[in-house]
Structure 1
Amino acid sequence: MHAVGIVAAAGSGLRLGADRPKALVPLGGRALVCWAVDTLVDGGVRDVVVAVPAAEHAAFATVLPMDVRLVAGGATRTASVRAALAAVGRRADAVLVHDAARPLTPPDLVTRVLDALAAGARAVVPVLSVVDTTVVVDDDGVVADTVDRAVLRRVQTPQGFAREALVDAYAWLPPDAELTDDAAVVRAAGIPVATVAGDERAAKVTVPHDLALAELQVVR
């Protein structure tokens, strides 16, 4: 199976308080995007496309290996993945979409996603159980209901897809649509999404506290 990885790396980094795109923020002396690309490669993906801010192409080219393909991302995550998907060749059987903001994702998580696709899944996402009590609140912030956490899951990346399934789903999606992840895109097109076990190390770096925690986990 020929799998291509897409890394969404066009985010601004405003919530992280950074003076550069979030994917270029250093972790353990290396840009977040470098960690994400290495995760895919070490997990068995040999062809990687990274969606970057158009104005920062040179900065990304400086830190990433020469065999990584760069494309100009869009104003939203959905637009960026759509642009990267257009650069994926027809030789690919599968596409894995990963967030640059999940730098410490272990390679064996990538392998689990690839194995599920090889076994016949058209779409698969890694998930974790919800451990906290989860509630619904009304407009006044008052608890209105408690949700059964046994059926809830936290979704991570990389998310894997049969290439044709993801291409068809994006072709069906309106150009101005913005969904939270690619599993939502294929589900909107009627494609079932399977799950595999996620990993707490695949946590997303969004705010400064997340980056500080990630620094504590980096093996120096």
Structure 2
Amino acid sequence: MSAVGIVAAAGSGLRLGADRPKALVPLGGRPLVAWAVATLLDGGVDEVVVAVPAADRDAFAAVLPDGVRLVEGGATRTASVRAALAAVPREGAAVLVHDAARPLTPPAVVARVLDALRAGAPAVVPVLPVVDTTVAVDAGGTVTAAPDRATLRRVQTPQGFSRRVLVEAYDALPDGVELTDDAAVVRAAGVPVGTVAGDERAAKVTVAHDLALAELQVAGIPGPS
């Protein structure tokens, strides 16, 4: 089974306080998107498609390896993934969708996702246990329930799918509907989603504090416990 990686990299860097698209923000001297692409290739995908802001296409091309395909992303994550999927025409391919904002995801996570797909799973995501007490609250902030955390998981990327499953799920998604991730899109289409073990190093870089912690990891210095 051939495998294609998609990197959603068209987002802004506003919450990170950056003056450029978040995927181009440097970490350890390399932009976040370069880390994400390397993770996918080292984990076993055959090629990578990156959805980028149209105005910054040249900047992305300058920092990514030859052979990485760039497509114009959209105003939303859904639009960007649709654009990247259109550039993956091969039937039978596995598609792994990864966030540029998870730069330190170990290649072993990619390999676990690919192994599950090759074993026949139509969709699979890497997950971690929820270790904190988690509660539901009402509009006023009052706790209304405390779900059993043994049944809860934190979902990471890359998320893997049969190309056919992902394309059909996006085709069935009503216009204007935005779901939180690609697994939610296929679940809305009635497709079961399996899980594999994630990794704490696959944390998402959203705000400046996240980037500072990632820099400590790159430098080999343990972050605060």
- TM-score range (shorter-chain normalised) is over 0.9
Query: RMSD across aligned C-alpha pairs, in angstroms?
Result: 1.0
Percent identity over the alignment is 79
Deviates more, 1:194-203 or 1:165-174: 165-174
Q: Which residue of 1 aligns with 2:134?
A: 134
Q: Aligned AA for 1:171? A: D
Q: Alpha-carbon deviations, 1:116-142, whole Å to 9, x = none?
A: 000000000000000000111122212
Partner SS for 2:195:
strand
* 1:114 correspondence with 2:114: yes
Q: Aligned AA for 1:35? A: W
Paired with 1:140 and 1:177, the residues of 2 have a C-alpha distance of 27
Paired with 2:219 and 2:14, the residues of 1 have a C-alpha distance of 27
Q: Which residue of 2 aligns with 1:85?
A: 85
> Is 1:53–1:73's contact at 8 Å kept on the other side of the alignment?
yes
Q: Alpha-carbon deviations, 1:28-81, whole Å to 9, x = none?
A: 000000000000000001210000011110110111112100000011111100
TM-score, normalising length: structure 1: 0.98
Paired with 2:30 and 2:177, the residues of 1 have a C-alpha distance of 33
Uncovered stretches (5+) of structure 1, i.e. residues with no partner? none
Shift of 1:89: 2.1
Q: Which residue of 2 aligns with 1:97?
A: 97
Uncovered stretches (5+) of structure 2, i.e. residues with no partner? 221-225
Shift of 1:219: 4.4
TM-score, normalising length: structure 2: 0.95
Q: Which residue of 2 aligns with 1:35?
A: 35
Partner SS for 1:134:
coil
> Is 2:91–2:163's contact at 8 Å kept on the other side of the alignment?
no
Q: Alpha-carbon deviations, 1:144-202, whole Å to 9, x = none?
A: 22111111100000000011111111111123221110001101111100000010000
Q: Which residue of 2 aligns with 1:159?
A: 159
Count of aligned pairs between the two proteins: 220
Q: Which runs of 4+ in 1 moved over 2 A?
A: none
Paired with 2:136 and 2:148, the residues of 1 have a C-alpha distance of 11
